[in-house]
A and B are shown apart, each in its own frame.
Chain A
Amino acid sequence: MSAESTDLTRLSAATLADKLTAGEVSSDEVTRAHLDRIAAVDPAVHAFLHICGRRALATARDVDARRAAGEELHPLAGVPIAVKDIIVTKGVPTTAGSRILEGWVPPYDATLVSKIKAARLPILGKTNMDEFAMGSSTEHSAFGPTHNPWDLDRIPGGSGGGSAAAVASYQAPLAIGTDTGGSIRQPGAVTGTVGVKPTYGSVSRYGLIALASSLDQAGPVTRTVLDSALLHELIGGHDPHDSTSIPEPLPPLVAAARQGALGDLTGVRVGVVTELNGDGYSDGVRARFSESLTLLQQAGAEIVEVSCPHFTYALGAYYLILPAEASSNLAKFDGMRFGLRVTPDGGDGLAATAERVMSATRGAGFGPEVKRRIILGTYALSAGYYDAYYGSAQKVRTLIQRDFAAAFEKADVLVSPTAPTTAFKLGEKLDDPLAMYLNDVATIPANLAGVPGMSVPNGLSDDGLPVGFQILAPAKADDRLYRVGAALEALLETRWGGPLLERAPELATAANSPVEATR
Chain B
Amino acid sequence: MSTISRDEVARVAGLARIDLTSDELDRLAGELDVIVQSVARISEVATADVPATSHPLPMFNVFRADVPEPSLPVADVLAGAPASEEGRFMVPQILEED
Q: Known: A201-B57, A363-B18, A397-B52. Contact between A353 and B96, CB under 8 A?
A: yes
Q: B59 touching A244 by the CB < 8 A rule?
A: yes
Q: B17 touching A339 by the CB < 8 A rule?
A: no
| CB proximity to A under 8 Å, residues B32-88 | 32, 34-36, 38-47, 50-57, 59, 62, 64-65, 72-73, 76-77, 79-83
Q: A353 touching B94 by the CB < 8 A rule?
A: yes
Q: A371 touching B93 by the CB < 8 A rule?
A: no
Number of interface residues of B (CB under 8 A): 60
A174 within 8 A of B: no
A128 within 8 A of B: no
19 A/B residue pairs, CB under 8 Å, sorted by A: A104-B80, A313-B45, A316-B40, A331-B17, A339-B82, A351-B97, A354-B94, A358-B17, A368-B24, A371-B18, A375-B28, A378-B15, A379-B32, A389-B40, A395-B42, A395-B52, A397-B54, A398-B53, A437-B35
Collect the chain B residues with CB atoms within 8 Å of residue A376's CB.
32, 35-36
Residue in B closest to A215 when the chains form the complex, CB atoms: B56
Q: B20 touching A363 by the CB < 8 A rule?
A: yes
A357 within 8 A of B: yes
A298 within 8 A of B: no
Q: B17 touching A359 by the CB < 8 A rule?
A: yes
Q: A341 touching B83 by the CB < 8 A rule?
A: yes
Interface SS of B by simple majority: loop
Minimum CB–CB distance for B25 against chain A, Å: 10
Q: B24 touching A336 by the CB < 8 A rule?
A: no
Q: A107 touching B72 by the CB < 8 A rule?
A: yes
Please provide the 9 A-B residue pairs with the shortest distance between their CB atoms, ordered closest to farther.
A450-B56, A363-B19, A341-B82, A392-B46, A394-B52, A316-B39, A240-B64, A107-B76, A395-B46
A64 within 8 A of B: no
Q: A392 touching B65 by the CB < 8 A rule?
A: no
CA distance A341 to B96 in the complex (A): 19
A429 within 8 A of B: no
Residues of A within 8 A of B (CB): 104-108, 199-201, 214-215, 240-241, 243-244, 246, 310, 313, 315-317, 319-320, 327, 331, 334-341, 343, 351-360, 362-364, 366, 368, 371-372, 374-376, 378-379, 382, 388-389, 391-399, 401, 433-434, 437, 447-451, 475
Q: Known: A352-B92, A353-B96. Contact between A388 and B1, CB under 8 A?
A: yes
Q: Which of A243, A398, A447 contacts B50 (CB 8 A)?
A: A398
Q: B62 touching A382 by the CB < 8 A rule?
A: no
CA distance A299 to B77 in the complex (A): 55
Q: Known: A313-B41, A320-B39, A335-B82. Contact between A434 and B92, CB under 8 A?
A: no
Q: A319 touching B56 by the CB < 8 A rule?
A: no
Residue in A closest to B93 when the chains form the complex, CB atoms: A353
Q: B55 touching A214 by the CB < 8 A rule?
A: yes
Q: Known: A354-B91, A354-B92, A374-B16. Contact between A392 and B42, CB under 8 A?
A: yes
Max chain A CB contacts within 10 Å: which of B15, B42, B50, B93?
Answer: B42
Q: B19 touching A434 by the CB < 8 A rule?
A: no
Q: A450 touching B42 by the CB < 8 A rule?
A: no
Residue in B closest to A398 when the chains form the complex, CB atoms: B53
Minimum CB–CB distance for B82 against chain A, Å: 4
Q: Known: A214-B54, A353-B94, A388-B1. Contact between A107 and B12, CB under 8 A?
A: no
Residue in B closest to A384 when the chains form the complex, CB atoms: B2
Q: A375 touching B9 by the CB < 8 A rule?
A: yes
Collect the chain B residues with CB atoms within 8 Å of residue A399's CB.
45, 50
Q: Known: A313-B45, A354-B93, A434-B38. Contact between A475 and B19, CB under 8 A?
A: no
Collect the chain B residues with CB atoms within 8 Å of residue A378's CB.
12-13, 15-16
Q: Known: A200-B57, A316-B40, A434-B35. Contact between A340 and B82, CB under 8 A?
A: yes
